[in-house]
Amino acid sequence: MKSSLLTELQSRIAAKHSCALVTETITGAQAIVGGGGTAGALVLSPESLGHINRLIAADKSSVIDGTNLFVRVYSPSPRMVIVGAVHIAQSLVPLAQLAGFETIVIDPRGAFLSANELAGATAIEEWPDEGMTKVKADARTAVVTLTHDPKLDDPALAAALRSPAFYIGALGSRKTHEKRLLRLRGEGFNETELARIHGPVGLDINAVSPAEIAVSIVAQVIDELRADTK
């Protein structure tokens, strides 16, 4: 690999951009795709670029069938942004970390954030609208709201809906969720946008305890993250 291309690849990885190093296995020609455009000497067809971008979205390295192109995908760890340092968060944080997620907990209540069970998570002691601005949710980010308090959940959901976050979920009953959707419609969100919110959050596994609810949430988030691989 040419040093200039290596430097460019390292720069994109350091910036936590999803990208791919594409190598023509016969000639050795290479290119970087994603995370700021295409770079390198290897010329790629629109069809190949489409295939490469799908592999990047799926976080999957592979040889493209019918070609001599090997695609090595580099993706940052997915993130889970949790709004509300409540009991479920104390189960959700370690479980999400075990599944490979970087965890971030946003809550303006400092006493809640100090719980030992949240160790290892990045704590942001801010109101959710300010916290979400710091997070800068991207296509590798899941946002989960847990507080049941519209003053905390709604601003976080609104910020998530305006972002490319791959998953948005909100804790609460169906009745609570309908009221939530009504408030968000009042803020100008349409039905297509609101359909991105999983409410009630998590897979329907009849979860009752905080730990069981955390399992259902992580399972649903992973399902969305890997949707392009099905």
Domain range holding 22? 3-74
Give the chain's mean pLDDT. Answer: 93
Give the Cα separation of 142 and 222 in Å (integer). 10
Mean pLDDT throughout 2-15?
91
Percent of the chain with pLDDT over 70: 97
Mean pLDDT throughout 3-12?
92
Q: Which of 74, 103, 124 is the last residue of a domain?
A: 74
Strands 19-24, 30-33: parallel, antiparallel or unpaired by DSSP? Answer: antiparallel
Q: What is the CATH number of the domain that holds 184?
A: 3.40.50.720
- Judged against a pLDDT cut of 80, whether residue 29 lies above it is answered with yes
Q: Are residues 95 and 14 in the same domain?
A: no
Q: Which of 47, 74, 101 is the last residue of a domain?
A: 74
Query: Residue 186: which pLDDT band, with cuts at 50, 70 and 90?
Result: very high
pLDDT of residue 230: 54
- Judged against a pLDDT cut of 90, whether residue 229 lies above it is answered with no
- Judged against a pLDDT cut of 90, whether residue 2 lies above it is answered with no
Q: Are residues 106 and 220 in the same domain?
A: yes
Q: Are residues 37 and 108 in the same domain?
A: no
In angstroms, the Cα distances linking 111 to 86, 89, 108, 116 are 11, 14, 9, 11
In angstroms, the Cα distances linking 167 to 119, 130, 138, 145, 201 are 23, 20, 10, 11, 10
- Judged against a pLDDT cut of 90, whether residue 141 lies above it is answered with yes
Give the Cα separation of 33 and 68 in Å (integer). 16
What's the domain count of the chain?
2
pLDDT of residue 91: 93
- Judged against a pLDDT cut of 60, whether residue 146 lies above it is answered with yes
pTM of the complete model? 0.82
